Amino acid sequence: MTPAIQTYELTKVYRARWRRREIRAVDGVSLRVERGTTFGLLGPNGAGKTTFVKLLLSVVHPTRGRAEIFGRDARIPEARRPVGYLPENHRFPGYLTGAAMLDFFGALSGMPARDRKRRIPELLERVGLAQWADVRLKKYSKGMLQRLGLAQALLHSPSLLILDEPSDGVDPVGRIQIREILRELENQGVTIFLNSHMLSEVELFCREVAILHRGRVALTGPVRELTAGRGYKLTAAAPPEGLIDELRAKAASCAASNGFVEFLFPDREVLNEAIDRLRAHRCPIESIVRTTSTLEQVFVRTLEGRGEDG
């Protein structure tokens, strides 16, 4: 099946003539996002995330390479019709009401008036702003404006939703509400491409991620696989001192507390050897847990592994 997003060696070079040097904002990025996937794009400030999104939307044009949306060249306007977009730091006219703003953007996108009249109340209700429909936007909080921005991105029922920092300025309850809306869209088969620095939000929501560093893909893959640990934490009740010393030599770490000893073993083979030794000494095993990493830990390790020079 044709992917929702496919890029081929996508590169954007800015030339700073006064400094006689080039800035490679995006440097040879080849990325594939399957249909129906929730995909997160991560990276530190200046990694090229926003430039990459602008290349997808043809806001800026690549120096080299190309981007496709559902198999069509992203530079063709028709290719971008099924895309909903919420930019970072968006600005809406403060004199408009919430309903009027959605009507204005819907008209810009070519939606018939009858469709706008039906969709606008639905979306305002969906993002929790139904009671604010006739209130001018200058009275909206930052979080409310963010939810309204999500509503405008959903107005034409897109097949691909591109969100740049969608939870920025939204309170915890609002973030949960946004996640619920996005999860419903995912269940309906909408592809969601999320650009965010909020790693905990990405880990809760996205199925796959890519980490950009200095314009290049440093790591990509399913979140579950990237955060899966290879080690095992074993807790045993009161093993004898000699056995503790024996197992400590094979463990990555060992800690004792309240009559229990906790070992961290690097792999399954060493774990099984430890279990056999504990059973041979009739020592009770309290628990065995596979270790995991948070997405934040994976992110930091990846950037540290790339070094300052990328």
Q: pLDDT tens for residues 51-82?
A: 999 999 999 999 999 999 999 999 999 999 99
Comparing CA positions, the residue from 256, 226, 253 lying closest to residue 241 is 256
The encoded tokens of residue 244 equal 């503790």
Q: pLDDT tens for residues 170-189?
A: 788 888 888 888 999 999 99
The mean per-residue pLDDT over the stretch 98-114 comes to: 94
Q: What are phi and psi of 81, to 5 degrees?
A: -60, -35
In 83-141, beta strands by DSSP E: 83-86
Q: What are phi and psi of 167, to 5 degrees?
A: -95, 5
In 196-270, beta strands by DSSP E: 208-213, 216-222, 228-237, 253-257, 260-265
Residue at token pair 């650009």: 195
The encoded tokens of residue 109 equal 């996108």
Structural domains of the chain in order of their starting residue, each with its CATH number: 5-224 (3.40.50.300), 226-295 (3.30.70.980)
259 CB neighbour count, 10 Å cutoff: 8
CA geometry: angle 179, 47, 220, nearest 5 deg: 60
Q: pLDDT band at residue 19, thresholds of 50, 70 and 90?
A: low
- Confirm if 26 and 10 have CB atoms less than 8 A apart: yes
Q: What are phi and psi of 266, to 5 degrees?
A: -75, -25
Q: pLDDT band at residue 309, thresholds of 50, 70 and 90?
A: very low
The mean per-residue pLDDT over the stretch 95-110 comes to: 94
Q: Would you say residue 310 has pLDDT above 50?
A: no
CA distances 2 to 68, 70, 71, Å, are 10, 6, 6
